[in-house]
Structures are given as C-alpha cells and as structure tokens.
C-alpha cells in the first residue's frame, strides 16, 4: 500500500473495453484476470442475472435444489467426457481445488486405502490462495510468509518446466510416482498451460503420459482447469484436446462468463461411489453459504448456452491465428527468450537477467501499456495476452503493437549500462 498510486476508476466495461472516469479507454487484454469469456457486460448473461435476481436470489442448497443449478450441472456433464458425472458447487477457483483435494483424500480412505494421504504437484504450479491450494502450488513469493501453514507435497519437475524438454522433468515425475505411488491420494496439475507460473505451455504428450501413469498406479488425477477451461486452450476444456478424463476436474473463472463468482468440482462416478453409504460419517463435509447461488448459476447457464454457438469456436481460431502471425514477426529479436501460444493464450518471455515475478521490468511494462490504452499484467518478465472472445481483430493487433513497444522498451533498458 505504501507504494500504491491512486487507482483509476472504471465506470463501464463493454466487450473488450474498460471505460475509465475521465474518458480514457483501455483494452482488457487479460480478460480481467482470466475470468471474462465472451466480453464484459455480455447482454444475454446480464439479462439472465437480472431475471434470476427478481425471481429467486439465494436459497440454502443443503435443503433445496433449483432449476439454474440443475441446468448448469446437466449442461456441464453433457459437455464433459462420460465418466465425469457429478458436480459439486462452490464459489471460486481456490475452493474448487480445496474440494478436489478433500474429496480425493476421503475417497481413498473410504475405498479402504487409508495410506493414500499425500499429493503430488508440479513446480511452477498455481492452484489458488487458500491454505490447501497454496500447499499444492509452487513455493514462491506468494506463499513464503505462510510457509508454516502449508502441508508437505511431493513436487515434480525440478526447475522450470518450460525451459527443459519434457523428458527431463517427466523423468522426475516418473521417479517420484514409482517411489511414492502407494502413499499418493492424487496428482494435481493445470493441463496444457500453467497460468500464474508464467503461461508455460506443456506438450500434450507429456500430460497424456502423466494421466496414463496415474491410471496405472491407481492414483487419482485432478485437473485444475480454473484458467484453461471455457475456451482458453482453443477447446472448451483442455481435457477435450488431450482426450483424457481426470478423476476430478476444477472449474471456475470463466464458468459464469466472468460476471459472477461460481465454481464447480466435478467427480467421476467412481469417486462419487466412495461417498455413497448409509454411514453418515462418510458424508463429504463441505458446504459454503453461497453454494450454487441461483443468480451465479443463471449466469453460468447463459454462458454455457452462448458457448454452444459455432461462431465462438471460429473466434478462438481467429484469435489464435493472429497470435501466431504476430509471434512469428518477433522471431530473432534478442530480447525474446521464448514466444508461445496455446489457443487464445499467447506469451512473450523476455530475456531478463533477474527473471522472476518481482522482476522490476514487469511494472515498467505494465505502466507503459496502460498509458497506451492496453491492460497487460506481466508475470515478471513474461508478457501474455488472454483476451475476451469479442476482442476485435483491430483491437487485438493494437494489443500486439503495444507488446512490441514493451519489447522495445525492455531492449532499451537492457542496453543501458
């Protein structure tokens, strides 16, 4: 707070544009922290929210059900591979992950495998900011002050998963799995793109191999698709591209189109079966005040209806094509350490002597971009673009122009003695 400058006030947001008090316009190139799908203030979603708010605002979900929740659960299950059949609602990505961890642990115990109490996660992982989610996330500046609260986790992929070919860090995973498979409740990962870790794109074959090894070892697999879900990878879910069915799937961020908080943890029939019992101690003990809030569910149902329109997938392909075209233009620039793209997510990693989240270049590039009317939030020395689907070609090119300006700025800074 001591370093904070007064923040601009946003008075309106439409499609990909934020309108600030005083008249400035900013292109939201990061979908307001990866939540907006179609665009800001999407009319169908807004109408669904308004209508639901006047009909049924909130009701205790431990006691009743309601059509918006039923519809979202039904539609999600219809969109997912056949195995993933049971939806548990909560309100944000971190709780979706906490729920998956608790379900995995309890399912193992109730299947008669009480030794399976540990989790395996990957280096550079990010799964949220609550204590369990932080524990499975990579240690770093985000988690250091809370170290004493975190439970120990097996960590695969020593060093940067992006720098080394997958053979290097997959070997590490195989060795850990081999040694510890009997103690493992679950493996958790962000399939295809590790988001907060730096938009690190994993080869599909690596994720498939991890999934297959988990299956053979009888270890549950949790896909955290809180960021990758709802089109980011160029498919509705990363698991669709991979052809993999995890045992547990975490969704949030884009679930309501980004308009309201809502999350879902989706379990297979087998995981669900571990809780079916006459014995009430086998209940899955987890309930939030706002579980399956009807207004949020109505927003999600509207979002899912919009996602079914073929024009949406065409838009993902177009955004990816522009990303690839603009990335190709950057090749050979000395400041470019790596350029990568997966679906509508593109990242430009800069060569920086002090790479890391607190890299001073990040704020400088952020400020430059904002002054030029584009919202970017560099992850240290990594610039990325993750736009709402309704961004126009012209707006997207403008974002890329500003990314190129940021690169020029970084080149000038690097050239300084």
Ligand X SMILES: *Cc1c(COP(=O)(O)O)cnc(C)c1O
The contact set with ligand X (CB under 6 A) reads 92-94, 97, 126-128, 190, 195-196, 224, 226-227, 252
In the complex with ligand X, the residue whose CB is nearer, 96 or 274, is 96
Nearest CA among 329, 378, 334 for reference residue 356: 378
In the complex with ligand X, the residue whose CB is nearer, 142 or 275, is 142
Please, what is the minimum distance in Å from the beta carbon of residue 190 to ligand X? 5
**227 contacts: CB under 8 Å, gap ≥ 6:** 34, 93, 190, 193, 195, 196, 253
Beta strands in 161-243 (DSSP E): 184-189, 193-194, 200-201, 220-224
Please, what is the minimum distance in Å from the beta carbon of residue 335 to ligand X? 27
State phi, psi for 297 to the nearest 5 degrees: -65, -35
In the complex with ligand X, the residue whose CB is nearer, 261 or 274, is 261
Whole-angstrom Cα distance, residue 29 to residue 388?
Answer: 7
β pairing state of 263-268 and 184-189:
unpaired
- Residues 44 and 302 sit within 8 Å (Cβ to Cβ): yes
Count the alpha carbons within 13 Å of 247 in the hemisphere toward its beta carbon.
Answer: 26
Structure tokens at 408: 């020029």
In the complex with ligand X, the residue whose CB is nearer, 229 or 402, is 229
Classify residue 82 by its DSSP letter.
T
Please, what is the minimum distance in Å from the beta carbon of residue 271 to ligand X? 19
Please, what is the minimum distance in Å from the beta carbon of residue 9 to ligand X? 23
Return the H-helix or E-strand segment holding 50.
Answer: helix 43-55
Please, what is the minimum distance in Å from the beta carbon of residue 88 to ligand X? 15
How does DSSP assign 375-408, residue by residue? Answer: E---BTTEEEE---TT--HHHHHHHHHHHHHHHH
Classify residue 38 by its DSSP letter.
S
In the complex with ligand X, the residue whose CB is nearer, 128 or 339, is 128
Classify residue 150 by its DSSP letter.
P
| DSSP 3-state of 126 | coil
| 79 Cα distance to chain centroid | 18
In the complex with ligand X, the residue whose CB is nearer, 52 or 92, is 92
Q: Where does residue 294 rank: exposed (0-12), middle (13-18), buried (19+ CB within 10 A)?
A: buried
Whole-angstrom Cα distance, residue 144 to residue 324?
Answer: 36
In the complex with ligand X, the residue whose CB is nearer, 275 or 290, is 290
Please, what is the minimum distance in Å from the beta carbon of residue 101 to ligand X? 12
Please, what is the minimum distance in Å from the beta carbon of residue 224 to ligand X? 5
Please, what is the minimum distance in Å from the beta carbon of residue 129 to ligand X? 6
Give the CB-nearest residue to ligand X: 93
In the complex with ligand X, the residue whose CB is nearer, 250 or 322, is 250
- Residues 217 and 247 sit within 8 Å (Cβ to Cβ): no
In the complex with ligand X, the residue whose CB is nearer, 68 or 128, is 128
- Residues 188 and 136 sit within 8 Å (Cβ to Cβ): yes
Please, what is the minimum distance in Å from the beta carbon of residue 296 to ligand X? 13
In the complex with ligand X, the residue whose CB is nearer, 252 or 395, is 252
β pairing state of 25-28 and 200-201:
unpaired
Please, what is the minimum distance in Å from the beta carbon of residue 97 to ligand X? 6
């Amino acid at each position: 707070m001591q370093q904070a400058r007064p923040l601009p006030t946003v008075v309106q947001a439409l499609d990909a544009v934020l309108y600030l008090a005083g008249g400035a316009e900013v292109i939201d190139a990061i979908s307001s922290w990866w939540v907006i799908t179609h665009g800001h203030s999407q009319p169908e979603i807004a109408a669904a929210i308004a209508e639901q708010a006047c009909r049924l605002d909130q009701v205790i979900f431990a006691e009743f059900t309601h059509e918006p929740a039923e519809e979202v659960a039904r539609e999600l299950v219809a969109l997912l591979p056949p195995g993933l059949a049971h939806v548990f609602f909560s309100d944000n990505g971190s709780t979706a992950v906490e729920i998956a961890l608790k379900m995995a642990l309890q399912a193992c115990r109730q299947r008669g495998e009480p030794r399976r109490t540990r989790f395996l996660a990957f280096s550079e992982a990010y799964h949220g900011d609550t204590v369990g989610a932080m524990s499975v996330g990579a240690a770093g500046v985000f988690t250091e002050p809370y170290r004493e609260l975190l439970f120990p986790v097996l960590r695969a992929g020593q060093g940067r998963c992006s720098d080394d070919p997958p053979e290097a860090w997959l070997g590490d995973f195989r060795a850990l799995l081999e040694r510890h498979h009997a103690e493992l409740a679950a493996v958790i990962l962000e399939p295809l793109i590790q988001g907060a870790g730096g938009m690190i794109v994993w080869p599909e074959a690596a994720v498939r191999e991890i999934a297959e090894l988990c299956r053979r070892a009888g270890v549950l697999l949790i896909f955290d698709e809180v960021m990758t879900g709802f089109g980011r990878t160029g498919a509705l879910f990363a698991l669709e591209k991979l052809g993999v069915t995890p045992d547990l799937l975490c969704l949030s961020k884009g679930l309501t189109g980004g308009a309201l908080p809502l999350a879902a943890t989706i379990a297979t029939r087998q995981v669900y079966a571990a809780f079916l019992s006459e014995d009430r101690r086998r209940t899955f003990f987890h309930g939030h005040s706002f579980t399956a809030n009807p207004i949020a569910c109505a927003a999600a149902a509207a979002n899912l209806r919009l996602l079914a329109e073929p024009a949406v997938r065409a838009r993902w392909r177009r955004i990816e094509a522009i990303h690839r075209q603009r990335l190709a233009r950057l090749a050979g620039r000395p400041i470019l350490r790596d350029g990568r793209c997966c679906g509508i997510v593109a990242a430009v990693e800069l060569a920086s002597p002090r790479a890391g989240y607190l890299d001073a270049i990040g704020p400088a590039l952020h400020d430059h971009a904002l002054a030029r009317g584009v919202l970017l939030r560099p992850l240290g020395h990594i610039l990325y673009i993750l736009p709402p689907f309704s961004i126009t070609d012209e707006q997207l090119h403008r974002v890329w122009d500003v990314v190129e300006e940021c690169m020029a700025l970084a080149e000038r800074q690097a050239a300084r003695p």
